[in-house]
Amino acid sequence: MSYASSILGLLPTGRRAIGITQLINKLETYLPPERVEPIREAYEFGAAAHEGQKRKSGEPYISHPVAVADLLADLHMDGQTIVAAILHDVLEDTPMSKEDIATRFGADVAEIVDGVSKLDRVQFKNRAEAQAESFRKMLLAMVRDIRVIMVKLADRTHNMRTLGSMSPLRRRAIARETLEIYAPIANRLGIYNIKNELEDLGLKNLYPNRYKVIEKAVKRARGNQKQFIGKIKDNIEAALEKAAIKGRVEGREKHPFSIYQKMRRKKTALNEVVDVFGFRIVVDSIDTCYRVLGIVHGIYRPMPGRFKDYIAIPRVNGYQSLHTTLFGPNGMPIEVQIRTEAMQQVSESGIAAHWQYKEGSEDEKTGHDRAREWLQHLVDMHGGNSEEFLESVKVDLFPDKVYVFTPKGEIRRLPRGATAVDFAYAVHTDVGNRCVAAKIDRRLVPLRTPLRNGQTVEVVTAKGAMPNPTWVNFVVTAKARTALRHYLKSLKSGDAAELGKRLLTQSLTELRLSFKSIKPEQWTALAADFNLKNASELFEKVGLGERLAPLVAQRLIPKDSAVSQPHESGPLAIAGTEGLSVSYARCCFPIPNDPIMAYVTTGHGIVIHREACGNLKSFRKQPDKWLSVVWQPAAGKLFNVEIAVQVQSRIGILAAVASEISATQTSIERVSIIERDGGVSTEIFEVMVADRKQLAQVIKRIRKMSDVVKVTRTLA
């Protein structure tokens, strides 16, 4: 008996369903014998490497890689992928090296295994950073060979199936990561079978009670709906037969996670979501899909605004289908999907349906190419630290998309909520950096305008134009945020250096020295003392608050100087145009003519507060970081400020107050209602004003309204 056979014999009876024998039998149905033999060898190799290792459940460890390979065999993945699946934990959990795998099974298999492996042998500051860096490494490996993510998704699926042996805390952490990262990736690649299972298992382990309630409701509804489902199916099949159309009609049960999502998104009760009948009609051609759409609309009346054509405009992951919602018997909603056999295969297996490594399959590489295009986009935004990169990927994975057109009719897919600036950066980074205006359907609109399906977007650019730092507040795509962050980082360096010079000038003046009297070689020598490259870096560190100007200035006092006590110098003048190194606290919203103080923060420059700000108390213990500042007149600069308006609650009062504010030519940035009590509401408006004079005009106009009880400026 071989060692592999003896290991297989040790597997618990319930686990033999995913043993090597069944796996080989499954592989022989679609792989030639010469491709199956290396898989047998991989099993022998993996079983020997994992000898003595057990999972938390007590099973021999080799049972996990075999189960992962079995999942991939269901998707008819190629032989190299199956070999890599069996060996995917060898680098992480055994002394075997990448070279050992490459020598025995080839470089491609070794690269896939290495791409899936975590970075446990590298030291990181914390678990979050290690997790993010492992994810970045895996994504970069995916660009070289997309089979990496197929193995990782199968690995995560089996781990989710066997989470029961983990502690509740660990289960929740893994479930949250699955819902945030791996299920959306499966969705993005169109692998709906894996995506649906990951979502349901994620919900089950993250919110077990919610899952039980939904699962119970689905089972109850399943029993109640049998009669209705049979009747609807018979009606549709009869109509297809009458029209001489061949096709199959399937009942489609909703998944617990999709029900949970719909309840949260639409804020509906559980019974309203569960009591929806779902059907799928699969036919032979695209032309037949549209004919069937007309037939089902003839049987049951369609709901207005509930039709989506994903055949003409496919989803970003390649998914195609016609979706329509109908009024069924007794007015019950019927959701119908109509697609071809090829579309059905893609909807179940996603990129695996187009797999170009599959034997004899060189056609239909669109899914594979689309996935590579997305992965290359991820590489393009490969900057900053790993955790920042991971957050960018999470945003990019959100499945809700809008489809807009370029002036030439090309389709651009963007996340829901994307703006004209996101569109500009989607076209090209240079277009985003130089955009100054946008037209939607030939009409000029603000750059922050959210895009809607079907719009035609045109970007207006200008030579010498630069990104506006405020764009960071409303862009949603990872590409736009990464490009802006890169630009602002370089801009911030220049701002910080300039501010550092001003702070040093002030500190030197207090010591009866002048900035101009300091020779370049003195600055260079001082920078070297601080282990900095040059004087520019020293100025930047001072501007960012990482070096305090008074202490730096002290180092420049000549040894034979008579300077002993600093004398008073004037406060630093702030005009609101200093760039990113001077910011304004959002706890108290200072505006010109307010009495102000400045606090030097480490890494972020100067933050301006109002003298009456309640948060200043916690900063008083660090007097060396406080600066005396005054306002310097500067035309054209606007500042954010908050006002609280107490009003008598009535329909339309919010719009009425907003109208009065707009009448003063004042822009409203944000509105919220924080309190309702005894018929009185408190509405918070964040507005943009030039100074206290304009703010006074706004408050005066609001106070004249009959429904207004009180108007105050907010303060922390």
Instruction: Among 84-88, 155-159, 432-436, name the one with the lowest average pLDDT.
Output: 432-436
Q: List, in order, residues 6 or more apart from 323 with CB less than 8 Å away.
A: 306, 307, 308, 310, 335, 336, 337
pLDDT digit string, tens, across residues 541-551: 887 777 777 77
- pLDDT score of 390: 55
Task: Give residues with Cβ within 8 angstroms of 176, minimum separation 6.
Answer: 202, 206
The partner residues of 711 in beta bridges, in order of sequence, read 645
- The pLDDT of residue 77 is 87
CATH of domain 3-208: 1.10.3210.10
Count of Cβ atoms closer than 10 Å to residue 523 Cβ:
19
What lies within 8 Å, CB to CB, of 456 at 6+ separation is 404, 405, 406, 407, 440, 441, 442
Q: Which amino acid is at 703?
A: R
| Residue bearing the bigger pLDDT, 248 or 349 | 248
Q: Which residue has the tokens 């940035």?
A: 669
pLDDT digit string (tens) for 262-289?
888 777 777 777 656 789 999 999 999 9
Q: Residue 645 in contact with residue 627, Cβ under 8 Å?
A: no
Separation of CA 663 from chain center: 38
**Residue with the larger pLDDT of the pair 654 and 491:** 654
Token pair of 323, please?
């979706």
Amino acid 19: pLDDT: 76
Average pLDDT over residues 462-471: 78
Select from 8, 116, 153 the least CA-distant residue to 66. Answer: 8
| Local confidence band at 3 (pLDDT 50, 70, 90 cut-offs) | very low
Contact 641, 697 (CB under 8 A): no
Distance, C-alpha 241 to centroid of its chain: 46
- Domain(s) labelled CATH 1.10.3210.10 in the chain stretch across 3-208
Query: Out of 74-78, 176-180, 351-355, 637-641, which region has the weakest mean confidence (pLDDT)?
Result: 351-355
Please report where in the chains the tokens 């001489």 appear, as a residue: 244
Tally Cβ neighbours within 10 Å of residue 653: 17
pLDDT band at 578 (very low <50, low <70, confident <90, very high): low
| DSSP-assigned states of every residue in 199-219 | HHHHHHHHSHHHHHHHHHHHH
Q: Which residues are catalytic?
A: 92-93
In this prediction, residues 46-51 reach a mean pLDDT of: 90
Contact 465, 435 (CB under 8 A): yes
CATH number of 209-353: 3.30.460.10
**Max CA pair span of the chain:** 107
Q: How buried is residue 699: exposed, middle or buried, by Cβ count under 10 Å (0-12/13-18/19+)?
A: middle
The pLDDT tens digits for 513-563 are 888 888 888 888 888 888 888 888 888 888 777 777 777 887 787 766 655
Residue 159 near residue 152 (C-beta atoms within 8 A): no
**Which pLDDT does position 123 carry in this prediction?**
47
What pLDDT sits at residue 275? 59
**Ordered DSSP codes for 599-662:** EEETTTEEEEEETT-TTHHHHTT-GGGEEEEEE---TT--EEEEEEEEEE--TTHHHHHHHHHH
CATH 3.30.460.10 positions along the chain are 209-353
Range from 71-85, 368-382, 494-508 carrying the lowest mean pLDDT: 368-382
pLDDT in tens, 23-38: 999 999 988 989 999 9
Q: Looking at the chain, which residues constitute the CATH 3.30.70.260 domain(s)?
A: 639-713
Q: Please classify residue 514 by burial: count the beta carbons closer than 10 Å to its beta carbon, then call 0-12 exposed, 13-18 middle and 19+ buried.
A: exposed
What are all long-range contacts of 9-17, with beta carbons under 8 Å and residues at least 24 apart? Answer: 10/60, 11/59, 11/60, 11/63, 12/59, 15/59, 15/63
In three-state secondary structure terms, 667 is: strand
This prediction's pTM: 0.53
* pLDDT of 4 over the 50 cut: no
Residue 503: which of 547, 555, 566 has the closest Cα?
547
| Percentage of the chain modeled with pLDDT above 70 | 79
Cα separation of 153 and 187, whole Å? 11
pLDDT for 202 equals 94
pLDDT at position 361 over 60:
no
- For residue 622, name the pLDDT band (cuts at 50, 70, 90): confident
User: How far, in Å, are 662, 666, 667, 685, 702 from residue 653 at the CA level?
Assistant: 14, 18, 18, 13, 12
Contact 712, 643 (CB under 8 A): yes
Q: Please state the rounded mean pLDDT for residues 638-664.
A: 86
What is residue 114's predicted lDDT score, i.e. its pLDDT?
87
Look-up of token digits 């919900």: 203
Stronger pLDDT, 403 or 86, i.e. the higher one: 86
Q: How far is CA 510 from CA 241, 501, 519, in A?
A: 94, 14, 18
Q: What is the pLDDT of residue 357?
A: 36
Residue 676 has pLDDT above 80, yes or no: no
The predicted pLDDT at position 323 comes to 92
Q: Is the pLDDT of residue 8 over 80?
A: no
Residue 124 binned pLDDT confidence (cut-offs 50, 70, 90): very low
Please name the amino acid found at residue 589.
F
Buried b (16+ CB within 10 A) or exposed e, 243-261: eeeebebeeeebbbbbbbe
Q: At 636, is the pLDDT very low, low, confident or very high (cuts 50, 70, 90)?
A: low
Q: Is the pLDDT of residue 319 over 50?
A: yes
Confidence of residue 154 (pLDDT cuts 50, 70, 90): very high
- Percentage above 90 pLDDT, the chain: 22
Helix ranges restricted to H, 398-475: 420-427, 429-434
pLDDT, position 1: 36
Contact between residue 402 and residue 476 where contact means Cβ atoms under 8 Å apart: no
Which CATH number is 639-713 given? 3.30.70.260
pLDDT for 607-620, tens place per residue? 888 888 888 776 66
CA distance 121 to 538: 36
3-class DSSP state of 132: helix
Residue 648 to residues 335, 652, 658, 660, 696: CA-CA distances in angstroms? 44, 11, 15, 16, 22
Can you tell me whether residue 277 is helix, strand or coil?
Answer: strand
Averaged pLDDT of the chain: 79
Query: What gap in Å lies between CA 65 and CA 63, rounded to an integer?
Result: 6
Q: At what angle do helices 147-161 and 127-144 cross, to 10 degrees?
A: 140
Residue 329 makes CB contacts below 8 A (sequence gap 6+) with: 228, 231, 232
